[in-house]
Structure formats: C-alpha cells, structure tokens
Amino acid sequence: MSLCRPFLDAADRAPSHPALIFDAAPIAYGALRESVLRAGAGVAALTGTAGRPPRVALRLGNRPELLALFLGIVAAGGTVALLDPKWSEGQAAAALDTLRPDLLLADGTAAGWIAAQPAGWVPPPVDPKTPFLIGFTSGTTGRPKPFIRDQGSWLATLEASRVEFGIGPGDVVLVPGPLVHGLGLYGAVEGLSAGATVQVQPRFDGDDAARRLAEAGVTTLVVVPTMLVAILDAAERRGAPFPALRRVVCSGAKLAPALHERLVALCPDVAVLEYYGASELSFVSLRSSREGAPADSVGRPFHGVELSLRDDDGRPVERGQPGTVWVRSAMLSDGYIGGADGAGYRERDGWGTVGDYGWLDADGWLRLAGREGDMLISGGLNVYPAEVEAALRAHPAVAEAVVFGLPDAYWGDAVSAVLWWRGEARAPAAELRAWCHGRLEGYKAPRRFLAADDLPLTGSGKIARAALRDRARAGRLEELA
C-alpha cells in the first residue's frame, strides 16, 4: 500500500471536510486531493537518475504546497528531500550536491509547478520498500546528516501512532512548528491520514497558537517543549483556557516538570503524550500522563517497539544497569546517504541505535542518561548531561536546565549547568549543588551554575546547546554564587 493511500481514502470519504487551515480559508480534502494528484502526475513524468526513483528537493516554508507536494511525490513512488529554508546558500548548495535531485522547488516556484501539471492522473501501486523521504538530523552539534526512509517504515509508524494517540476525523490538529522538521511534518501527515483537520502556522507565533487553541476548537497540539513555553506564556497573558484540547503530543526534548504543571493547571483533563524518538529510529518510547510513569523517565516502549539495553560488547544488561538503547521495530530508517559517516545511527541484526545511553527500572520504565557524543569526562569519570538535567529540572526553582562541560585545568571537563528560573524563584549555587548531591553521585553535581535570560533555539525548536556553550566559554552568562 502506498503511504499516500490513507490520505486519499480520507479524501474519498469526506471530500468537503476541511483538511488544511493556514491563514486563509480552509482547504477541503477534495481540493487538496486534486493538488496532490497533479503533483504526483508531474513527478511520475520525471526520470530518476541512475535508475533510482525520481528525487525532488523542496526548499519551502510552511505553506499548503509543501504538503501537497509531499503527498504527491509519495503517491508517485518518488523521494522527497527536505531542505530547511533557513539554511544559508552555502548549506543548501552542499545539501544539493549530496542529494543531486531531479527537480528543485522553492517558495517562488512550487504553486505554479503544481498548477501546470495535468489532471486525472491515477496513482499506481507502490512497493513499501520504495524510498520516500530524505531528511536531515537536527543535532545540536556537528553537521546534520541526511537519512533516508522507505514507505513501509512510515506506514508502520502511522499504525503505531494511531494506537497510541488515537487521532481521528473529528480532531483538529495544530502543528505550529516547521514542516521541514520531522515532528511537524509527521504531525501534519498523521492528521491528514486520519481524516482530521490540520492547522499550520506560516511561522511559529506563540500568541497566535494560544488564540487558535482558545477559539478554533483545536483538540490536539503537536509541539516541542520550547514552543509550548511560548504558547503557555501567551495563554497566561490572555487568561483564556483551551476548552477543546484533549491531547498534547510532545517530543524533541524532555518535558520539564514545571512545564507539565503549567499545562495541567490550564487544561486539567488534557492527556500529555511525551514520546522519545529519533529521526533514524522513529518512535522509541512513550510517557503518557495517564499511565503513572516516573517524571524523570521517558516511559515504556512505544507500540510495536522492542527495547534492549546492551553493554559495549553488545550483550544485554540486567534491569537497573546502564547500557546503550537498542531498538527493534518496523519503523527504522535505512541509515544515512551521500557518504555521511556512521557516527550516530548503527544497525545490527535488525536492531538499531543512535547511541543513547540509559537503563530500565524494575517496573520497565526507560530512563535516559545521554548520548555517546554528549558524554563528558570530569576527573576521569563519565558524566551524561541528561541525567544531571533531569535532577535539576526537579528543583522547585528551576524551569529548564542544560548541562555540558567547560574546560578546566584540573577536572578536564568541569560539569556546568545553565538554568532558567520558574517565575521569580531563584536558588543559590550551594543549594543547587546540595540538591544534586542528594540525587546523584557526587562527581555528577555541577561545579559551575550559570543563568540565562533567553533560550537560543535551533531551526526545529530545540535548545541550541552549542550556542549556549559558546556563550558560557565567552563569559556572557551570569554565574551564580
């Protein structure tokens, strides 16, 4: 079955139902279907290079053409390559040199190209093993690597999220983030595959998102934590609740307890569905607010996922012991393309890992300590930032924390934390250090505490850790006494 088939079936069932809402009038399923099929006709007429399926690069902002093109390319058995419009010309040129697409469409050309394609095209059957997506990892350090997926992996992902999230035709899904990144794109495609109405902002705006949530009957919000902060700030200024909101699907970073509390205070009955995953792995685990998972965990295995915690020699470790998180599911990617190095995603005997490190507790809840490349060595001992960040986020004065190493002649890496406060609350360094000592081994407690006023973000809405570390090294952050 083609990955586009669930959308086409939804359009056949309810062609007049609103499919997309951007800024203007809603686009009905029938009208979107027409654009999708025109795009598919144009892609079907392309000749792929070196015998591979046609490859189409899209350098588009959040606009209806992106989703019409995505679904049309998929329906024709082509491959979509997503380029971030915020990249510099040099970054885009390097990506295009790696991708060598058969067609490049941008904001100024996409709508006209779709309109010029013939009507009446009928989608052919597509082998689920056909590659359909080339995306770029959005890591906080290093050059993003292009990964590739086949249609079957996302069909399995849609099946799994249907079980866990339960989005249906009666839902209105708000996707405020960029569609060129995995969370936003998948959230929109999931909604359209379910027959729901999908609202997309042309660009993220916390006030506009809060208005839509208060007034537009939005039942489902798909968001990263940093965007949720801005939305809740706006909602608290407006003093308006979100009456229709039933679920918040959140990923990209751990949801801080303070943020969870603010959300539940505004929407007491909302289900918070916080999932851990990776571009290369898709869903890994789910922490649902209705299942009683510990606040510092990332939940239990997602539907259709098996987990194995292994030591450096690949042997399974006992419950409670730390190890590398390996995943087996039908949702794994096909790895990297274009000569990208193998650092990051690895596959062995049907199991995949991106090098995340963690452990399963006695009740089967997964906790993360960090990723191999994030580990720092302080005084000859290994420290994973995620573990320290989780301890700091639990402090009543801390809204968010980022931990990294700063050069130190004695320690090598001095464990250092950048903090953002909950409202007017503050805490001195000694109190924070004692707090960490009560929850972690002593060597993991930060030696330096710094505070920041703003929150630098990557294009996908994650905290820009490298930029924060540069600020700290340059002495541009307040150091707590």
**The total number of structural domains that make up the chain:** 2
Average pLDDT, whole number, for the chain?
Answer: 92
Clarify whether residues 57 and 158 are in a common domain.
yes
Q: Are residues 404 and 353 in the same domain?
A: no
In the block, tokens 């934590």 appear at 225
> Would 370 be classed as within a structural domain?
no
CATH of the domain at 415: 3.30.300.30
Q: Classify residue 381: in a domain, yes or no.
A: yes
Residue 324 lies in a domain: no
Rounded to 10 degrees, what is the CA torsion of 404, 407, 410, 414?
Answer: -20
Tell me how far apart the alpha carbons of residues 371 and 357 are, in angstroms, rounded to a whole number: 6
278 and 385 in a common domain: no
Phi first, then psi, for residue 435 (nearest 5°) are -60, -45
Is 317 a member of any domain? Answer: no
Q: In what order do the strands lie in the sheet with 103-106?
A: 103-106, 55-59, 79-82, 131-136, 146-150
Q: How far apart are CA 100 and CA 134, in angstroms?
A: 12
DSSP assigned state of 342: S
E-strand stretches of 46-195: 55-59, 79-82, 103-106, 131-136, 146-150, 172-175
- Burial (CB count <10 Å: 0-12, 13-18, 19+), residue 98: middle
Q: Which two tokens stand for residue 227?
A: 């965007």
- One domain, residues 257 and 386: no
CATH number at residue 150: 3.40.50.12780
β-sheet bridge partners, residue 322: none
Does this model's pTM top 0.95? My answer is no
Does residue 230 form part of some domain?
A: yes
Give the 3-state secondary structure of residue 439.
Answer: coil
pLDDT surpasses 50 at 452: yes
For the stretch 101-129, pLDDT in tens is: 999 999 999 999 999 999 999 999 999 99
* pLDDT, tens digit, 9 for 90 and up, residues 371-382: 766 788 888 788
Percent above pLDDT 70 for the chain: 97
Count CB neighbours of 330 within 10 A.
16
| 448 and 340 part of one domain | no
DSSP β-ladder status, 398-408 and 381-383: unpaired
Considering the domain architecture, whether residues 386 and 343 belong to the same structural domain is answered as no
pLDDT band at 87 (very low <50, low <70, confident <90, very high): confident
Note whether 278 and 218 are same-domain residues: yes
Read off the pLDDT of residues 5-59 as tens digits, 9 standing for 90 and up.
Answer: 999 999 999 999 999 999 878 999 999 999 999 999 999 999 877 788 999 999 9
Residue 351 phi, psi dihedral angles, 5° rounding: -105, 145
Regarding whether 382 and 287 lie in a shared domain, the answer is: no
Residue 343 has pLDDT above 70, yes or no: no
285 and 381 in a common domain: no
DSSP string computed for 57-86: EEE--SSHHHHHHHHHHHHTT-EEEE--TT
Q: Give the H or E element holding residue 242.
A: none
66 and 168 both lie in a single domain: yes
Q: Does 178 reside within a domain?
A: yes
pLDDT at 141: 41
Question: Does 368 fall in a domain?
Answer: no
Same domain for 392 and 352: no
Interstrand relation of 412-421 and 398-408 (parallel, antiparallel or unpaired): antiparallel
Q: What mean pLDDT is predicted for residues 245-252? A: 95
Q: Are residues 199 and 245 in the same domain?
A: yes
CA 469 from centroid of its chain's CA atoms: 22
Question: Cα separations (Å) of 333 from 109, 410, 418?
Answer: 30, 42, 34
Q: Name, in order, each residue with C-beta under 8 angstroms of 88's C-beta and a sequence gap of 6 or more.
A: none
- 3-class DSSP state of 207: helix
What residue numbers bound the domain in which 121 lies? 5-305+329-359
What is the per-residue burial (b if ≥16 Cβ within 10 Å, else e) of 137-156?
A: bbbbeeebbbbbbbbbbbbb
Determine, yes or no, domain membership for 170: yes
